[in-house]
Structure 1
């Protein structure tokens, strides 16, 4: 049996751009991708802390150090620039893998720069 568990999350990142005329996806600063282990084209779930919207899309890379969190296409209707999001990715693990799996949680500063990346449950 495979279990679906949280792989990684970007906690309380701020939307920097919303573009309805783009063909869909979420641009994420490459530094945040590195810190979290998230990958380009990976399926993500987004939770808008500011308005309660929940939606999904996939990742595209934004320039390293830019702090960019851009919502494109239909996703741009779900948040406004300045809204706070939690971005999560889930992966499947065998029962043995699940026993030792700990998700990565990336906390950011006010410019969406990684402040701290931690493995949840680690000291």
Structure 2
């Protein structure tokens, strides 16, 4: 049996751009990707706190330290700049792994800088 758990999360990030005419994906600042343990081209679920929209796409890298959270292609229809979103990557674990796994949770400020706990 495999169990699906949250692997990494970027919580309440601010969308900085939306480009309907770009090839679909979400652009995320490399600093945030590293902190959350999310890989380039990994599938992520996105939850928009302002509209309630929930959708999936894949990740592309935005420049490190840029603060960019950009929705591209069809994903741009689900949020606009200023909206707060949570980005979550999931992974499948066997039961023994699931019992000890700890996800990476990244909290951000209004400029998408990492907050420390």
Structure 1 runs of 4+ off > 6 angstroms?
none
The correspondence of residues 26-105 of structure 1 with structure 2, limited to 5 A, is 26-105=26-105
| Cα separation, 2, equivalents of 1:39 and 1:56 | 15
| Cα separation, 2, equivalents of 1:92 and 1:116 | 28
TM-score between both structures, scaled by the size of structure 2: 0.98
Summarize deviations over 1:23-68 as a string: whole Å, max 9, x none: 1000000000111110100000000001100000000000001000
Q: CA RMSD in A?
A: 0.9
Deviation at 1:116, TM superposition (A): 2.9
| Cα separation, 2, equivalents of 1:42 and 1:13 | 18
| Cα separation, 2, equivalents of 1:10 and 1:116 | 13
- Give the secondary-structure state (helix, strand or coil) at the position aligned to 2:34: helix
Gaps of at least 5 residues in structure 2 are: none
| Cα separation, 2, equivalents of 1:91 and 1:66 | 27
Deviation at 1:14, TM superposition (A): 0.3
Deviation at 1:103, TM superposition (A): 1.1
| Cα separation, 2, equivalents of 1:116 and 1:92 | 28
Gaps of at least 5 residues in structure 1 are: 118-123
TM-score between both structures, scaled by the size of structure 1: 0.93
- Equivalent in the alignment of 1:114: 114
Number of aligned residue pairs: give it. Answer: 117
